[in-house]
Amino acid sequence: MIGVFDSGLGGLTILKAFLTKLPQYAYVYLGDNARTPYGNKSQAVIYAYTRQAVEFLFARGCVLVILACNTASAKALRRIQQELLPERYPDRRVLGVVIPLAEAGVDASRYGRIGVIGTRATIESGVYEQELAKLRPDLKVFGQACPLLVPLVEEDWVGKPETNMILKKYLYRIKRKKIDTLILGCTHYPFLQKDIERIMGKNCRVLNGPETVSDKLIDYLSRHPEIEQRLGRNRIVNLFTTDDADRFRLLGQKFLRHNIPEVERAVFEN
């Protein structure tokens, strides 16, 4: 099975793309809605929460886990890959979303001016600047933290006037930098993509993160048959949340745009 982890609902955008482009596999999704957002938490806490999630997904048979959460990818992925996996799970793999999005940003940029919006933890980590510089050192990269957007998405305020007002305030700060490409450095933000594209205008390309990540996963599996051959192909999708399961199901159906029969609750110690 393929595990997909996010701090809340945002990773459903990634799961939806996987179900469209790689429908043959079995998936387990975990949203840590009870402890979202991760963007205002310390690196130690983010690592502890992410490790709990990864081990939860491994215990349910996942061979490969995708950290759909940008904050977890920025703050916890490397340590999980370098410490947790070699010591306890040498036959499992954990991947993030930062590198695929950075690669797509470089490919899309016309004039070498890229913007990144994300949680405070993701922006302050500088992870996108680092990965983009590795790919193209002459790039100009401009980051903008948008700490209010994740709670607004989680509370189903997408499309409301108050959300658009806050979105405009964040985006105008980065729009003034004359960027030609915008990376949505949080998996919650694709829920706001149409509004973001409208505000940024036709001269800025807003990357479709879920499509990018799913395309990169297809490429990864083609290059790693030893992992691909171990993935279940029964097309089962199991959903878990650390918060209210009924609320997650109702919001998840809206975001995934299809019926969700059941969501189970996962219980972690804080």
pLDDT interval class at 65 (50, 70, 90): very high
Tell me the pLDDT tens digit for each residue of 13-37.
999 999 999 999 999 999 999 998 8
Percent of the chain past pLDDT 90, that is, above it, reads 82
pLDDT interval class at 223 (50, 70, 90): very high
Average pLDDT of span 159-183:
96
CATH class of 98-209: alpha beta
pLDDT computed for residue 270 by the predictor: 65
Tell me the pLDDT tens digit for each residue of 180-197.
999 999 988 998 999 999
Tell me the pLDDT tens digit for each residue of 75-105.
999 999 999 999 999 999 999 999 999 999 9
- Tokens linked to 246: 């009924």
End-to-end CA distance of the chain: 27
Could you give the CA distance from residue 164 to residue 148 in angstroms, rounded to a whole number? Answer: 11
Whole-model pTM? 0.90
Are 65 and 3 contacting, i.e. CB atoms less than 8 angstroms apart? yes
- Tokens linked to 60: 């349910």
Q: Which residues are catalytically annotated?
A: 69, 186
pLDDT computed for residue 193 by the predictor: 94
Distances (CA, A) of 217 to 141, 240, 259: 25, 22, 25
Question: In angstroms, how far is CA 112 from the centroid of its own chain?
Answer: 24
DSSP string, 248-264: HHHHHHHHHTS-----E
Q: Which residue has the higher pLDDT, 270 or 38?
A: 38
Fold equal for 2-96+211-265 and 98-209 = yes
Average pLDDT of span 50-66:
97
| Residue closest to 248 by CA, chosen among 19, 8, 7 | 8
**3-state class (DSSP) for residue 93:** strand
- Tokens linked to 214: 């799913």
The arrangement of secondary structure in 2-96+211-265, i.e. its CATH architecture, is 3-Layer(aba) Sandwich (3.40)
Could you give the CA distance from residue 32 to residue 241 in angstroms, rounded to a whole number? Answer: 6
pLDDT computed for residue 155 by the predictor: 87
Domain boundaries, the chain: 2-96+211-265, 98-209
> For the chain, what is the mean pLDDT?
94
Are 90 and 36 contacting, i.e. CB atoms less than 8 angstroms apart? no
Could you give the CA distance from residue 125 to residue 163 in angstroms, rounded to a whole number? Answer: 25
Tell me the pLDDT tens digit for each residue of 132-149.
999 999 999 999 999 999
Determine the angle formed by the axes of helices 98-108 and 127-135, rounding to 10 degrees. 50
pLDDT interval class at 243 (50, 70, 90): very high
Tell me the pLDDT tens digit for each residue of 118-133.
999 899 989 999 999 9
pLDDT interval class at 73 (50, 70, 90): very high
Residue 239 bridge partners (DSSP): 29
